[in-house]
């Protein structure tokens, strides 16, 4: 199998990237461990959502909605499991499943290699991700939760900025054509 | 070229994964008062169908019960009607027995409260066959000490006298008979006369002068002058009074229920019998005339 494929959508040619063996698992695991440990020592870093960024990145890169949503679901479940007994399994799973599907679907149609595009997409995906979480919390858990606030905007911007940088690093894990 | 899953396929997978996770969440989440969310969902989802089903089954059952399953209704209705008639009859019998028990209790009470007076309680077993006479037959006779001309009363008042005695029965002539009567006295004015029957439910007091004062509602008691009834046994109440020639015409309502006699008391002697309330005088409300002494003494009609 080739490492890189091309999707032909009209006049555009979109590449489908493959990664070194174990790269996806290791990166996802690292993001989860970071998310679970670092904020303990640096509470301000709680604003970061590395599992989400990983989900977005591999979704945009693989450009396969089925793979993307399954990867998002898996990362979400792991995040749920690491979040303690108060978070039911599926809480982050649902949100990241949706994000994985959307990222893969959009990645299959748009060129998401440009940093500006990545920044915008990460910002939007972060908002959607939080919206799904709020929806689940309000509807299923019957807990009052504000839909949007300034903190959300700042968090979305911070994660978008971090994601844009992080994605450049993750690009190095791609197999070359 | 790589076979990329179609949009439809991935959408189906997305829906399946999301639904699975939602169910998983529902199993985990526990609402405070409703239990697990999956249970709330299940009940909420099933409720409309359950309600519709219950409504539908209720309607079907109602239609079946009220329109089709009526084969035994007529029979059941007939059985219920017969049972209802039997119950009505039973109720009537019980009411009759209760009334009889009340009457017997009154007789017994009267007897117990007048232990010093020799008397015999008797049950009315027959009445006169025609309207020409007003007599009753009682189940006490010579064997019980009953003799001719003994006074017969009830706890309400005078009834009549014994006119025939047999071994175990006796005949009583009621005060309402044309030949019946008793020496009487108006309670308020102490005017004496004779109360006798006219063959009708009401009696008449005779030999009261037009000048005597007689009030409507005034009580009349026995005077004891007839040598049959002891003194002061209630006879009746003045119902109507008007001047007559040569004596006043006074209609009297019997104190005893002479048309509904079922149990009576035969006084074996002329010893005085005290009626506690019956001898209380009622206020006069009618004609006031001058009293004339020398009214004829009360006497039993021949």
Q: 3-state secondary structure string, chain B?
A: CCCCCCHHHHHHHHHHHHHHHHHHHHHHCEECCCEEHHHHHHHHHHHHHHHHHHHHHHHHHHHHHHHHCCCCHHHHHHHHHHHHHHHHHHHHHHHHHHHHHHHHHHHHHHHHHCCCCCEEEEEEEEECCCCCCCEEEECCCHHHCCCCCCEEEECCEEEEEEEEECCCCEEEEECCCCCCEEEEEECCCCCEEEEEECCCCCEEEECCECCCCCCCCCEEEECCCCCCCCCCCEEEEEEEEECCCCECEEEEEECCCHHHCCEEEEECCCCCCCCCCCCCCCCCCCCCCCCCCCCCCCCCCC
- CA-to-CA distance for B124 and B34, rounded, in angstroms? 77
The pLDDT value recorded for residue B33 is: 64
- Pick the residue from chain B with its C-alpha nearest to A89: B25
HSE toward the beta carbon, residue A43, CA cutoff 13 A: 0
- Pick the residue from chain B with its C-alpha nearest to A62: B4
Which of A140, A141, A142, A143 would you mutate first to test chain B, the one with the most B CBs within 10 A? Answer: A140
Q: How many CB atoms lie within 10 A of CB B251?
A: 18
Shortest CB distance from A89 goes to which of B4, B7, B24? B24
Which of B8, B9, B16, B25 would you mutate first to test chain A, the one with the most A CBs within 10 A? Answer: B25
Instruction: Tell me the pLDDT tens digit for each residue of A112-140.
Output: 888 999 999 999 999 999 999 999 888 88
The pLDDT value recorded for residue B280 is: 43
What is the pLDDT averaged over residues A142-171? 89
Weakly modelled stretches of chain B, pLDDT under 50: 1-2, 4, 278-302
> Distance from A13 to chain B by nearest Cα, in Å?
13
**What value of ipTM does the predicted structure carry?**
0.77
Considering only A12-16, A34-38, B74-78, B224-228, which range has the smallest mean pLDDT?
A: A12-16
pLDDT band at A99 (very low <50, low <70, confident <90, very high): very high
- CATH architecture of the region B114-302: Beta Barrel (2.40)
Q: Do A70 and B17 touch (CB under 8 A)?
A: yes
Q: Which of B83, B145, B214 is nearest to B205 (CA)?
A: B214
Residue spans of the domains in chain B: they are 34-63, 114-302
Q: Is the pLDDT of residue A72 over 80?
A: yes
> In a 10 Å sphere around its CB, with 0-12 CB exposed, 13-18 middle and 19+ buried, how is residue B192 labelled?
buried
The pLDDT value recorded for residue A14 is: 62
> Distance from A65 to chain B by nearest Cα, in Å?
6
Q: Which long-range contacts (CB under 8 A, 24 or more apart) does A22-25 make?
A: A23/A173, A24/A58, A24/A71
pLDDT band at A165 (very low <50, low <70, confident <90, very high): very high
Q: What is the mean pLDDT of chain A?
A: 85
pLDDT band at A109 (very low <50, low <70, confident <90, very high): confident
> Distance from A41 to chain B by nearest Cα, in Å?
30
The pLDDT value recorded for residue A127 is: 95
What is chain B's length? 302
- CA-to-CA distance for A89 and A49, rounded, in angstroms? 18
Residue spans of the domains in chain A: they are 4-173
- Pick the residue from chain A with its C-alpha nearest to B26: A140
């Amino acid at each position: 199998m080739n490492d890189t494929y091309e999707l032909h959508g009209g006049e555009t040619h979109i590449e489908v990237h493959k990664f070194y063996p174990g790269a996806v698992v290791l990166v996802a695991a690292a993001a989860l461990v970071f998310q679970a440990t670092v904020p303990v020592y640096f509470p301000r870093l709680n604003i970061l959502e590395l599992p989400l960024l990983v989900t977005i990145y591999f979704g945009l890169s693989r450009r396969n909605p089925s793979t993307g949503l399954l990867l998002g679901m898996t990362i979400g479940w792991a995040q749920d499991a690491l979040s303690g007994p108060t978070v039911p399994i599926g809480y982050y799973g649902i949100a990241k499943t949706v994000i994985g599907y959307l990222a893969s679907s959009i990645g299959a149609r748009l060129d998401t290699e440009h940093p500006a595009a990545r920044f915008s997409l990460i910002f939007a995906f972060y908002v959607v991700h939080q919206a799904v979480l709020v929806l689940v919390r309000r509807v299923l858990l019957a807990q009052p939760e504000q839909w949007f606030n300034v903190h959300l905007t700042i968090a979305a911007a911070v994660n978008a900025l971090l994601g844009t940088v992080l994605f450049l690093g993750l690009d190095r894990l791609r197999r070359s054509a | 070229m790589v076979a990329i899953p179609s949009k439809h396929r991935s959408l189906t997978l997305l829906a399946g994964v999301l639904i699975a996770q939602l169910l998983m969440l529902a199993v985990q989440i526990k609402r405070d008062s409703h239990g697990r969310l999956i249970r709330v969902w299940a009940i909420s989802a099933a409720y409309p169908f359950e309600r519709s089903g219950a409504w539908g089954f209720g309607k079907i059952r109602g239609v079946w019960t009220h329109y089709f399953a009526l084969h035994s209704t007529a029979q059941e209705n007939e059985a219920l009607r017969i049972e209802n008639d039997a119950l009505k009859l039973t109720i009537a019998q019980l009411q009759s027995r209760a009334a009889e028990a009340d009457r017997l209790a009154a007789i017994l009470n009267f007897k117990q409260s007048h232990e010093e007076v020799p008397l015999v309680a008797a049950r009315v077993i027959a009445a006169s066959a025609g309207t020409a006479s007003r007599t009753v037959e009682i189940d006490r006779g010579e064997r019980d000490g009953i003799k001719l001309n003994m006074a017969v009363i009830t706890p309400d008042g005078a009834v009549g006298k014994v006119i025939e005695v047999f071994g175990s029965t006796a005949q009583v002539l009621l005060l309402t008979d044309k030949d019946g009567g008793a020496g009487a006295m108006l309670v308020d004015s102490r005017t004496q006369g004779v109360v006798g029957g006219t063959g009708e439910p009401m009696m008449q007091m005779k030999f009261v002068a037009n000048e005597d004062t007689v009030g409507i509602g005034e009580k009349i008691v026995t005077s004891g002058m007839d040598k049959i009834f002891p003194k002061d046994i209630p006879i009746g109440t003045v119902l109507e009074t008007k001047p007559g020639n040569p004596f006043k015409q006074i209609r009297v309502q019997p104190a005893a229920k002479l048309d509904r006699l079922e149990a009576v008391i035969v006084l074996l002697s002329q010893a005085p019998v005290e009626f506690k309330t019956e001898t209380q005088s009622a206020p006069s409300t009618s004609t006031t005339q001058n009293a004339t002494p020398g009214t004829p003494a009360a006497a039993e009609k021949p």
